[in-house]
Structure 1
Protein backbone atom coordinates (compact mmCIF):
# COMPACT_ATOMS: atom_id res chain seq x y z
CA UNK A 1 0.00 0.00 0.00
CA UNK A 2 1.97 2.95 -1.29
CA UNK A 3 -0.51 5.60 -2.46
CA UNK A 4 -3.20 7.81 -0.96
CA UNK A 5 -5.78 6.14 -3.20
CA UNK A 6 -4.81 2.71 -1.91
CA UNK A 7 -5.13 3.92 1.68
CA UNK A 8 -8.54 5.45 0.98
CA UNK A 9 -9.77 2.19 -0.55
CA UNK A 10 -8.45 0.16 2.35
CA UNK A 11 -10.01 2.49 4.91
CA UNK A 12 -13.40 2.34 3.19
CA UNK A 13 -13.22 -1.46 3.14
CA UNK A 14 -12.19 -1.54 6.81
CA UNK A 15 -15.10 0.64 7.90
CA UNK A 16 -17.58 -1.20 5.69
CA UNK A 17 -16.61 -4.51 7.24
CA UNK A 18 -16.27 -3.10 10.78
CA UNK A 19 -18.93 -0.39 11.27
CA UNK A 20 -18.05 -0.08 14.97
CA UNK A 21 -14.93 1.81 13.84
CA UNK A 22 -16.88 4.53 12.03
CA UNK A 23 -17.23 6.73 15.15
CA UNK A 24 -13.48 6.34 15.71
CA UNK A 25 -12.80 7.51 12.15
CA UNK A 26 -15.11 10.48 12.59
CA UNK A 27 -13.29 11.59 15.73
CA UNK A 28 -9.84 10.95 14.27
CA UNK A 29 -10.38 12.95 11.11
CA UNK A 30 -8.40 12.58 7.90
CA UNK A 31 -4.89 11.19 7.70
CA UNK A 32 -2.38 10.37 5.00
CA UNK A 33 -0.18 7.43 4.17
CA UNK A 34 3.37 7.80 5.46
CA UNK A 35 6.29 6.08 3.80
CA UNK A 36 10.06 6.27 4.05
CA UNK A 37 12.66 4.50 1.86
CA UNK A 38 13.17 0.80 2.54
CA UNK A 39 16.50 -0.94 3.01
CA UNK A 40 19.20 -0.36 5.60
CA UNK A 41 18.48 3.36 5.96
CA UNK A 42 14.78 2.71 6.56
CA UNK A 43 15.50 0.12 9.22
CA UNK A 44 18.08 2.42 10.84
CA UNK A 45 15.45 5.17 10.95
CA UNK A 46 13.01 2.88 12.73
CA UNK A 47 15.69 1.99 15.27
CA UNK A 48 16.47 5.67 15.71
CA UNK A 49 12.85 6.33 16.68
CA UNK A 50 12.57 3.63 19.33
CA UNK A 51 11.47 4.96 22.74
CA UNK A 52 11.83 8.60 21.70
CA UNK A 53 9.39 11.40 21.15
CA UNK A 54 8.68 12.28 17.53
CA UNK A 55 10.55 15.57 17.84
CA UNK A 56 13.66 14.01 19.43
CA UNK A 57 13.82 11.21 16.88
CA UNK A 58 13.49 13.58 13.95
CA UNK A 59 16.24 15.83 15.32
CA UNK A 60 18.62 12.90 15.82
CA UNK A 61 17.83 11.41 12.43
CA UNK A 62 18.38 14.79 10.79
CA UNK A 63 21.93 14.84 12.14
CA UNK A 64 22.52 11.14 11.48
CA UNK A 65 21.58 11.22 7.81
CA UNK A 66 24.12 13.97 7.09
CA UNK A 67 27.02 11.61 7.82
CA UNK A 68 28.77 10.59 4.58
CA UNK A 69 27.59 7.22 3.32
CA UNK A 70 25.49 6.52 6.40
CA UNK A 71 22.57 5.15 4.37
CA UNK A 72 24.67 2.31 2.93
CA UNK A 73 25.40 -0.65 5.22
CA UNK A 74 28.96 -1.15 3.96
CA UNK A 75 29.96 2.47 4.48
CA UNK A 76 28.12 2.60 7.82
CA UNK A 77 30.47 -0.12 9.04
CA UNK A 78 33.42 2.12 8.20
CA UNK A 79 32.16 4.99 10.34
CA UNK A 80 33.70 5.69 13.72
CA UNK A 81 31.40 4.95 16.69
CA UNK A 82 32.07 8.34 18.24
CA UNK A 83 31.07 10.04 14.99
CA UNK A 84 27.74 8.19 14.89
CA UNK A 85 27.00 8.69 18.58
CA UNK A 86 27.67 12.41 18.27
CA UNK A 87 24.42 12.64 16.30
CA UNK A 88 22.48 11.44 19.35
CA UNK A 89 22.46 7.70 18.70
CA UNK A 90 22.86 5.71 21.90
CA UNK A 91 25.56 3.05 22.19
CA UNK A 92 22.94 0.30 21.93
CA UNK A 93 21.38 1.79 18.79
CA UNK A 94 24.79 2.21 17.20
CA UNK A 95 25.57 -1.46 17.89
CA UNK A 96 22.17 -2.63 16.68
CA UNK A 97 22.59 -0.82 13.37
CA UNK A 98 26.08 -2.25 13.06
CA UNK A 99 24.87 -5.84 13.57
CA UNK A 100 22.15 -5.30 10.98
CA UNK A 101 24.60 -3.72 8.51
CA UNK A 102 26.94 -6.68 8.94
CA UNK A 103 24.08 -9.10 8.24
CA UNK A 104 23.07 -7.24 5.08
CA UNK A 105 26.65 -7.08 3.80
CA UNK A 106 27.10 -10.78 4.56
CA UNK A 107 23.91 -11.59 2.68
CA UNK A 108 22.17 -13.23 5.63
CA UNK A 109 19.58 -10.45 5.90
CA UNK A 110 17.75 -9.85 2.61
CA UNK A 111 15.46 -6.86 3.12
CA UNK A 112 13.93 -6.86 -0.39
CA UNK A 113 12.80 -10.42 0.28
CA UNK A 114 10.27 -9.34 2.95
CA UNK A 115 8.38 -7.25 0.40
CA UNK A 116 7.05 -10.45 -1.19
CA UNK A 117 6.06 -12.16 2.07
CA UNK A 118 2.89 -12.19 4.13
CA UNK A 119 2.94 -9.95 7.19
CA UNK A 120 3.35 -12.90 9.55
CA UNK A 121 6.17 -14.47 7.54
CA UNK A 122 7.94 -11.14 7.02
CA UNK A 123 7.80 -10.35 10.74
CA UNK A 124 9.13 -13.81 11.61
CA UNK A 125 11.95 -13.46 9.08
CA UNK A 126 13.02 -10.06 10.36
CA UNK A 127 12.83 -10.93 14.05
CA UNK A 128 14.99 -14.01 13.46
CA UNK A 129 17.87 -11.56 13.05
CA UNK A 130 19.68 -10.12 16.04
CA UNK A 131 18.68 -6.56 16.90
CA UNK A 132 15.25 -6.65 15.26
CA UNK A 133 12.32 -7.03 17.64
CA UNK A 134 8.62 -7.33 16.77
CA UNK A 135 7.90 -3.57 17.02
CA UNK A 136 10.89 -2.71 14.83
CA UNK A 137 9.91 -5.32 12.26
CA UNK A 138 6.27 -4.23 12.10
CA UNK A 139 7.06 -0.52 11.89
CA UNK A 140 9.56 -1.25 9.10
CA UNK A 141 6.99 -3.31 7.21
CA UNK A 142 4.35 -0.60 7.55
CA UNK A 143 6.33 2.51 6.80
CA UNK A 144 9.14 1.25 4.58
CA UNK A 145 7.51 -1.49 2.51
CA UNK A 146 3.89 -0.32 2.73
CA UNK A 147 2.68 -3.75 3.80
CA UNK A 148 -1.15 -3.60 3.82
CA UNK A 149 -1.88 -5.87 6.76
CA UNK A 150 0.31 -4.92 9.71
CA UNK A 151 -0.83 -3.67 13.14
CA UNK A 152 2.04 -3.14 15.64
CA UNK A 153 0.41 -4.51 18.80
CA UNK A 154 3.48 -3.66 20.88
CA UNK A 155 3.07 0.07 20.27
CA UNK A 156 1.91 1.68 23.51
CA UNK A 157 0.15 4.55 21.76
CA UNK A 158 -1.91 2.11 19.70
CA UNK A 159 -2.81 0.02 22.75
CA UNK A 160 -3.93 3.11 24.62
CA UNK A 161 -5.83 4.48 21.64
CA UNK A 162 -7.73 1.25 21.01
CA UNK A 163 -8.61 0.89 24.67
CA UNK A 164 -9.85 4.48 24.88
CA UNK A 165 -11.70 4.52 21.56
CA UNK A 166 -13.50 1.23 22.15
CA UNK A 167 -14.46 2.06 25.74
CA UNK A 168 -12.38 -0.65 27.35
CA UNK A 169 -11.78 -0.47 31.11
CA UNK A 170 -8.03 -0.56 30.51
CA UNK A 171 -5.64 -0.69 27.59
CA UNK A 172 -5.44 -4.16 26.03
CA UNK A 173 -2.33 -6.28 26.39
CA UNK A 174 -0.37 -7.16 23.28
CA UNK A 175 -2.03 -10.58 23.20
CA UNK A 176 -5.50 -9.09 23.63
CA UNK A 177 -4.85 -6.49 20.95
CA UNK A 178 -3.59 -9.12 18.52
CA UNK A 179 -6.81 -11.09 18.99
CA UNK A 180 -8.93 -7.96 18.62
CA UNK A 181 -7.22 -6.70 15.48
CA UNK A 182 -7.37 -10.08 13.75
CA UNK A 183 -10.89 -9.27 12.57
CA UNK A 184 -9.59 -6.10 10.88
CA UNK A 185 -7.46 -8.14 8.48
CA UNK A 186 -6.53 -7.66 5.69
CA UNK A 187 -6.81 -3.92 6.34
CA UNK A 188 -4.72 -3.55 9.48
CA UNK A 189 -2.35 -0.96 8.02
CA UNK A 190 -5.25 1.47 7.66
CA UNK A 191 -6.53 0.50 11.10
CA UNK A 192 -3.16 1.29 12.69
CA UNK A 193 -2.97 4.69 10.99
CA UNK A 194 -6.55 5.37 12.08
CA UNK A 195 -5.80 4.71 15.73
CA UNK A 196 -2.53 6.67 15.67
CA UNK A 197 -4.49 9.62 14.30
CA UNK A 198 -7.17 9.08 16.94
CA UNK A 199 -4.43 9.09 19.58
CA UNK A 200 -3.08 12.41 18.30
CA UNK A 201 -6.43 14.07 17.70
CA UNK A 202 -8.40 12.90 20.71
CA UNK A 203 -5.92 11.91 23.38
CA UNK A 204 -3.59 14.82 22.59
CA UNK A 205 -0.29 13.03 23.00
CA UNK A 206 2.95 13.52 21.10
CA UNK A 207 4.64 10.13 21.39
CA UNK A 208 4.29 7.13 19.11
CA UNK A 209 6.11 6.21 15.98
CA UNK A 210 8.64 8.77 14.91
CA UNK A 211 8.43 8.07 11.19
Structure 2
Protein backbone atom coordinates (compact mmCIF):
# COMPACT_ATOMS: atom_id res chain seq x y z
CA UNK A 1 0.00 0.00 0.00
CA UNK A 2 1.45 3.34 -1.08
CA UNK A 3 0.44 6.93 -0.36
CA UNK A 4 0.39 8.84 -3.68
CA UNK A 5 3.45 11.07 -4.02
CA UNK A 6 1.31 14.14 -4.68
CA UNK A 7 -0.83 13.85 -1.51
CA UNK A 8 0.73 16.68 0.52
CA UNK A 9 0.70 19.05 -2.44
CA UNK A 10 -2.90 18.08 -3.22
CA UNK A 11 -4.20 18.68 0.31
CA UNK A 12 -2.52 22.09 0.39
CA UNK A 13 -4.09 23.02 -2.95
CA UNK A 14 -7.57 21.84 -1.95
CA UNK A 15 -7.41 23.54 1.44
CA UNK A 16 -6.49 26.81 -0.24
CA UNK A 17 -9.27 26.51 -2.80
CA UNK A 18 -12.16 25.68 -0.47
CA UNK A 19 -12.91 26.24 3.23
CA UNK A 20 -15.28 23.30 3.37
CA UNK A 21 -12.69 20.96 1.92
CA UNK A 22 -10.05 22.41 4.24
CA UNK A 23 -12.21 21.52 7.25
CA UNK A 24 -12.75 17.96 6.02
CA UNK A 25 -9.03 17.48 5.37
CA UNK A 26 -8.19 18.81 8.84
CA UNK A 27 -10.65 16.38 10.42
CA UNK A 28 -8.82 13.42 8.88
CA UNK A 29 -5.29 14.76 9.20
CA UNK A 30 -2.73 11.99 8.89
CA UNK A 31 -4.97 9.77 6.75
CA UNK A 32 -4.63 9.30 3.02
CA UNK A 33 -5.72 7.20 0.10
CA UNK A 34 -3.61 4.07 -0.31
CA UNK A 35 -2.72 2.84 -3.78
CA UNK A 36 -2.25 -0.89 -4.33
CA UNK A 37 0.48 -2.24 -6.62
CA UNK A 38 -1.76 -5.14 -7.72
CA UNK A 39 -4.22 -3.98 -10.39
CA UNK A 40 -5.91 -7.38 -10.60
CA UNK A 41 -6.73 -7.13 -6.88
CA UNK A 42 -8.13 -3.61 -7.31
CA UNK A 43 -10.45 -4.54 -10.18
CA UNK A 44 -11.81 -7.59 -8.38
CA UNK A 45 -12.30 -5.60 -5.18
CA UNK A 46 -14.22 -2.96 -7.11
CA UNK A 47 -16.52 -5.55 -8.71
CA UNK A 48 -17.21 -7.12 -5.31
CA UNK A 49 -18.07 -3.69 -3.91
CA UNK A 50 -20.42 -2.57 -6.67
CA UNK A 51 -23.81 -1.29 -5.48
CA UNK A 52 -23.47 -2.53 -1.89
CA UNK A 53 -22.36 -0.90 1.35
CA UNK A 54 -18.72 -0.76 2.43
CA UNK A 55 -19.49 -3.16 5.29
CA UNK A 56 -21.22 -5.67 3.01
CA UNK A 57 -18.41 -5.40 0.46
CA UNK A 58 -15.82 -6.14 3.14
CA UNK A 59 -17.73 -9.29 4.15
CA UNK A 60 -18.00 -10.54 0.57
CA UNK A 61 -14.34 -9.79 -0.09
CA UNK A 62 -13.19 -11.68 3.01
CA UNK A 63 -15.02 -14.81 1.82
CA UNK A 64 -13.84 -14.32 -1.76
CA UNK A 65 -10.15 -14.11 -0.84
CA UNK A 66 -10.46 -17.24 1.29
CA UNK A 67 -12.00 -19.11 -1.64
CA UNK A 68 -9.40 -17.94 -4.17
CA UNK A 69 -5.89 -18.63 -2.88
CA UNK A 70 -3.56 -17.50 -4.26
CA UNK A 71 -5.42 -14.57 -5.80
CA UNK A 72 -4.21 -14.96 -9.37
CA UNK A 73 -6.04 -15.00 -12.72
CA UNK A 74 -5.18 -18.65 -13.27
CA UNK A 75 -6.49 -19.73 -9.86
CA UNK A 76 -9.70 -17.71 -10.17
CA UNK A 77 -10.48 -19.25 -13.55
CA UNK A 78 -10.31 -22.71 -11.94
CA UNK A 79 -12.67 -21.92 -9.04
CA UNK A 80 -16.23 -23.18 -9.50
CA UNK A 81 -18.96 -20.61 -10.04
CA UNK A 82 -20.96 -22.15 -7.19
CA UNK A 83 -18.05 -21.53 -4.82
CA UNK A 84 -17.96 -17.87 -5.81
CA UNK A 85 -21.73 -17.56 -5.45
CA UNK A 86 -21.37 -18.89 -1.91
CA UNK A 87 -19.07 -15.94 -1.17
CA UNK A 88 -21.98 -13.58 -1.78
CA UNK A 89 -21.40 -12.73 -5.43
CA UNK A 90 -24.36 -12.62 -7.79
CA UNK A 91 -24.26 -14.77 -10.91
CA UNK A 92 -23.55 -11.62 -12.90
CA UNK A 93 -20.61 -10.64 -10.71
CA UNK A 94 -19.20 -14.16 -10.95
CA UNK A 95 -19.14 -13.77 -14.73
CA UNK A 96 -17.52 -10.35 -14.40
CA UNK A 97 -14.65 -11.48 -12.16
CA UNK A 98 -14.02 -14.43 -14.48
CA UNK A 99 -13.89 -12.02 -17.45
CA UNK A 100 -11.31 -9.90 -15.62
CA UNK A 101 -9.25 -13.00 -14.84
CA UNK A 102 -9.37 -13.99 -18.52
CA UNK A 103 -8.16 -10.53 -19.57
CA UNK A 104 -5.20 -10.66 -17.19
CA UNK A 105 -4.39 -14.25 -18.15
CA UNK A 106 -4.33 -13.41 -21.86
CA UNK A 107 -2.50 -10.06 -21.71
CA UNK A 108 0.87 -9.02 -20.35
CA UNK A 109 -0.51 -6.38 -17.99
CA UNK A 110 2.54 -4.61 -16.56
CA UNK A 111 2.89 -1.13 -15.00
CA UNK A 112 4.27 0.01 -18.35
CA UNK A 113 1.09 -1.23 -20.04
CA UNK A 114 -0.94 1.39 -18.16
CA UNK A 115 1.72 4.10 -17.90
CA UNK A 116 1.68 4.49 -21.67
CA UNK A 117 -2.06 5.30 -21.60
CA UNK A 118 -3.85 8.45 -20.45
CA UNK A 119 -7.04 8.30 -18.36
CA UNK A 120 -9.38 8.02 -21.34
CA UNK A 121 -7.28 5.25 -22.90
CA UNK A 122 -7.16 3.30 -19.63
CA UNK A 123 -10.93 3.61 -19.36
CA UNK A 124 -11.38 2.42 -22.95
CA UNK A 125 -9.15 -0.62 -22.39
CA UNK A 126 -10.91 -1.63 -19.19
CA UNK A 127 -14.51 -1.16 -20.31
CA UNK A 128 -13.76 -3.52 -23.19
CA UNK A 129 -13.89 -6.25 -20.52
CA UNK A 130 -17.52 -7.31 -20.15
CA UNK A 131 -18.68 -6.29 -16.70
CA UNK A 132 -16.19 -3.47 -16.23
CA UNK A 133 -17.91 -0.12 -16.50
CA UNK A 134 -16.66 3.42 -16.15
CA UNK A 135 -17.05 3.43 -12.35
CA UNK A 136 -14.91 0.30 -11.96
CA UNK A 137 -12.31 1.76 -14.33
CA UNK A 138 -12.27 4.95 -12.24
CA UNK A 139 -11.66 2.96 -9.05
CA UNK A 140 -8.79 1.21 -10.82
CA UNK A 141 -7.27 4.53 -11.87
CA UNK A 142 -7.60 5.95 -8.36
CA UNK A 143 -6.58 2.99 -6.23
CA UNK A 144 -4.07 1.20 -8.46
CA UNK A 145 -2.67 3.78 -10.85
CA UNK A 146 -3.05 6.63 -8.32
CA UNK A 147 -4.19 9.00 -11.05
CA UNK A 148 -4.73 12.37 -9.31
CA UNK A 149 -7.68 13.87 -11.16
CA UNK A 150 -10.45 11.24 -11.29
CA UNK A 151 -13.98 12.44 -10.50
CA UNK A 152 -16.39 9.45 -10.43
CA UNK A 153 -19.60 11.37 -11.04
CA UNK A 154 -21.60 8.11 -11.08
CA UNK A 155 -20.64 7.21 -7.50
CA UNK A 156 -23.64 7.58 -5.20
CA UNK A 157 -21.49 7.94 -2.09
CA UNK A 158 -19.64 10.87 -3.62
CA UNK A 159 -22.90 12.56 -4.59
CA UNK A 160 -24.28 11.99 -1.09
CA UNK A 161 -21.18 13.59 0.45
CA UNK A 162 -21.30 16.60 -1.87
CA UNK A 163 -25.00 17.09 -1.14
CA UNK A 164 -24.31 16.97 2.60
CA UNK A 165 -21.37 19.36 2.61
CA UNK A 166 -22.04 21.68 -0.33
CA UNK A 167 -25.69 21.79 -1.45
CA UNK A 168 -27.70 21.51 1.79
CA UNK A 169 -29.15 18.26 0.50
CA UNK A 170 -30.31 19.63 -2.84
CA UNK A 171 -29.70 17.17 -5.68
CA UNK A 172 -27.95 18.77 -8.65
CA UNK A 173 -27.64 17.80 -12.29
CA UNK A 174 -24.45 15.92 -13.27
CA UNK A 175 -23.07 18.95 -15.10
CA UNK A 176 -23.55 21.04 -11.96
CA UNK A 177 -21.56 18.59 -9.83
CA UNK A 178 -18.78 18.67 -12.41
CA UNK A 179 -18.79 22.48 -12.32
CA UNK A 180 -18.77 22.48 -8.51
CA UNK A 181 -15.68 20.24 -8.54
CA UNK A 182 -13.80 22.35 -11.07
CA UNK A 183 -11.73 24.24 -8.42
CA UNK A 184 -10.47 20.88 -7.14
CA UNK A 185 -8.54 20.20 -10.34
CA UNK A 186 -5.97 18.74 -10.80
CA UNK A 187 -6.61 16.74 -7.61
CA UNK A 188 -10.22 15.63 -7.84
CA UNK A 189 -9.22 12.09 -6.82
CA UNK A 190 -8.01 13.47 -3.51
CA UNK A 191 -11.14 15.57 -3.00
CA UNK A 192 -13.27 12.52 -3.79
CA UNK A 193 -11.42 10.39 -1.24
CA UNK A 194 -11.90 12.98 1.51
CA UNK A 195 -15.58 13.36 0.70
CA UNK A 196 -16.01 9.59 0.96
CA UNK A 197 -14.07 9.66 4.22
CA UNK A 198 -16.44 12.29 5.60
CA UNK A 199 -19.45 9.97 5.33
CA UNK A 200 -17.95 6.50 5.85
CA UNK A 201 -16.84 5.04 9.20
CA UNK A 202 -13.74 3.53 7.56
CA UNK A 203 -11.55 4.78 4.70
CA UNK A 204 -12.62 3.62 1.25
CA UNK A 205 -10.10 1.29 -0.37
CA UNK A 206 -10.09 -0.95 -3.44
**CA offsets 1:105-164 (integer angstroms, 9 cap, x no match):** 222x84642344332332233223321111111111111221111121111111122133
Counterpart residue number, 2:34: 34
- The TM-score with structure 2 as length reference comes to 0.84
| Alpha-carbon distance in 2 for matches of 1:38, 1:175 | 33
Q: How does 1:36-185 map to 2 (within 5 A)?
A: 36-69=36-69, 71-107=71-107, 110=109, 112=111, 113-167=113-167, 170-185=170-185
When the two chains are superposed, the root-mean-square deviation of aligned CA atoms in Å is 2.7
- The TM-score with structure 1 as length reference comes to 0.82
| Alpha-carbon distance in 1 for matches of 2:37, 2:20 | 33
Are 1:23 and 2:20 counterparts?
yes
Residues 126 and 5 of structure 1: is their aligned pair in 2 closer, same or farther, counting only changes over 3 Å?
A: closer
Question: Post-superposition shift, 1:181?
Answer: 2.5
Structure 1 residues not aligned, in runs of 5+: 201-205
Alignment coverage as a number of residue pairs:
202
Residues 197 and 88 of structure 1: is their aligned pair in 2 closer, same or farther, counting only changes over 3 Å?
A: same
Do 2:4 and 2:34's aligned partners in 1 also have CA atoms closer than 8 Å?
no
Residues 111 and 85 of structure 1: is their aligned pair in 2 closer, same or farther, counting only changes over 3 Å?
A: farther
Where has structure 1 moved over 4 Å in runs of 4 or more?
Answer: 206-210
| Alpha-carbon distance in 1 for matches of 2:45, 2:22 | 28
- Choose between structure 1 and 2 for higher RCO, CA contacts under 8 A separated by at least 6 residues: 1
Q: Secondary structure at the match of 2:141?
A: helix
| Alpha-carbon distance in 2 for matches of 1:7, 1:124 | 26
**CA offsets 1:13-32 (integer angstroms, 9 cap, x no match):** 2233x2xx222331461132
**CA offsets 1:30-72 (integer angstroms, 9 cap, x no match):** 1322333422222111100111111111111111112244521
